[in-house]
Structures are given as C-alpha cells and as structure tokens.
C-alpha cells in the first residue's frame, strides 16, 4: 500500500515530467527551422519529420551521397 509520502512523491515526479514535456514541446521542435546548408526556411511538414534540410538541399545531398556510396 502506498502511504502519503509515496503519493506525494508520485505527484511530484508526474508534475516534473509534465513540466519537462511542456518545456520540450515549446523549446525543441523536431528538426531545424532553417536549412543547415542554405539557411532557407524549411517547410513545416519537413520539420515535423525532423528533417534539417530544405527540399533542394536534401535532393542535392542525397544525390552527392549516392555518388560516394
């Protein structure tokens, strides 16, 4: 059986992880806002996938990558 200290401890742990989740949602959106190669804005859809290059640079990067593969 959980006593009051355990309940309080669980409550604090939950509160901290909730706050951390919120903070991460606000401060570290997946992917970069700007392309790491050309500094152009990356479309929201690509950012949501955690991609850090714009479409042009990603295409170029993949093309170069396949040359050296």
Contacting positions for Zn ion (CB under 5 A): 35, 37-38, 40, 54, 57
Q: Which is nearer to Zn ion, 26 or 66 (CB)?
A: 66
> 43: which residues sit within 8 A by CB, 6+ positions away?
54, 55
Nearest distance, CB of residue 33 and Zn ion, angstroms? 12
Q: Which is nearer to Zn ion, 7 or 38 (CB)?
A: 38
State the residue for tokens 């040359």: 67
Distances (CA, A) of 57 to 17, 22, 42, 64: 37, 32, 10, 10
Nearer to Zn ion by Cβ, of 31 and 37: the residue is: 37
């Amino acid at each position: 059986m959980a006593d009051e200290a355990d309940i309080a401890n669980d409550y604090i742990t939950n509160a901290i992880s909730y706050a951390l989740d919120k903070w991460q949602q606000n401060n570290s959106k997946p992917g970069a806002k700007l392309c790491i190669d050309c500094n152009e804005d990356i479309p929201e859809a690509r950012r949501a996938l955690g991609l850090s290059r714009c479409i042009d640079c990603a295409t170029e990067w993949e093309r170069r990558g396949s040359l050296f593969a």
